[in-house]
């Protein structure tokens, strides 16, 4: 059993940039030389979430509209220092979460046919850090 750690950086283009990181994670698995275990991904931010979901832009359109229903951009927020995009970004992050775990088997991420791995920018263009940990053998 061993452990491998690596921080990856993702440049985002602004609110609701959905960045697929499946290949980047697969590269980290390869680099780790771990064949069977678990990969942990952690966003080091409160306004950039991590998600496991299908690669289909219509699903992300629906996500945006669901959020507009729950967290209307024209409503009044307490955390308003950086505007409503920031205030709502924190709540979207609370719902989507900033981490996930993925099994690794035979040197590959274990995922469903339609699953991909995403960083979701919820605020503004930023360089986002995702800390990847792999434990296994």
CB of 132 to its own copies, least distance (A): 8
Helix 57-70 to helix 84-96 angle, to the nearest 10 degrees? Answer: 110
Token pair in block for residue 134: 């792999």
CB of 30 to its own copies, least distance (A): 18
Q: Which of these ranges, 11-19, 20-28, 71-79, lies near its own copies under the rule CB under 8 A?
A: 71-79
Alpha helices in the chain (DSSP H): 22-32, 57-70, 84-96
Query: For its own copies, which residue of 13, 70, 73, 125 counts as binding (CB under 8 A)?
Result: 70
Query: For its own copies, which residue of 62, 68, 108, 125 counts as binding (CB under 8 A)?
Result: 62
Q: How far apart are CA 102 and CA 92, in angstroms?
A: 22
Site for its own copies, residues 9 to 48, rule: CB under 8 A: 36-38, 40, 42-46
Q: What contacts 52, CB < 8 A, 6 or more positions away?
A: 100, 102, 111, 115, 116, 117, 118
Q: What contacts 22, CB < 8 A, 6 or more positions away?
A: 109, 111, 116, 117
Query: For its own copies, which residue of 56, 73, 108, 125 counts as binding (CB under 8 A)?
Result: 56
- Compute CA 79 distance to the chain's CA centroid, rounded to the nearest angstrom: 23
Query: For its own copies, which residue of 19, 107, 111, 124 counts as binding (CB under 8 A)?
Result: 111
Q: Which residues are near its own copies by CB under 8 A?
A: 1-3, 5, 36-38, 40, 42-46, 51-54, 56-59, 61-63, 65-66, 69-71, 77-81, 87-88, 90-91, 93-103, 105, 110-115, 129, 131, 133, 135-137
């Amino acid at each position: 059993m061993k452990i491998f750690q690596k921080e990856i950086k993702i440049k985002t283009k602004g609110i609701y940039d959905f960045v697929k990181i499946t290949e980047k994670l697969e590269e980290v698995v390869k680099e780790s030389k771990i064949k069977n275990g678990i990969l942990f991904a952690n966003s080091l931010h409160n306004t950039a979430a991590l998600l496991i979901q299908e690669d289909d832009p219509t699903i992300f359109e629906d996500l945006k509209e669901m959020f507009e229903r729950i967290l209307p951009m024209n409503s009044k927020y307490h955390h308003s220092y950086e505007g409503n995009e920031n205030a709502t970004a924190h709540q979207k992050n609370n719902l989507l979460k900033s981490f996930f775990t993925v099994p690794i088997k035979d040197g590959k991420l274990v995922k469903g046919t339609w699953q991909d791995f995403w960083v979701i920018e919820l605020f503004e263009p930023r360089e986002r850090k995702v800390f990847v940990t792999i434990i296994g053998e």
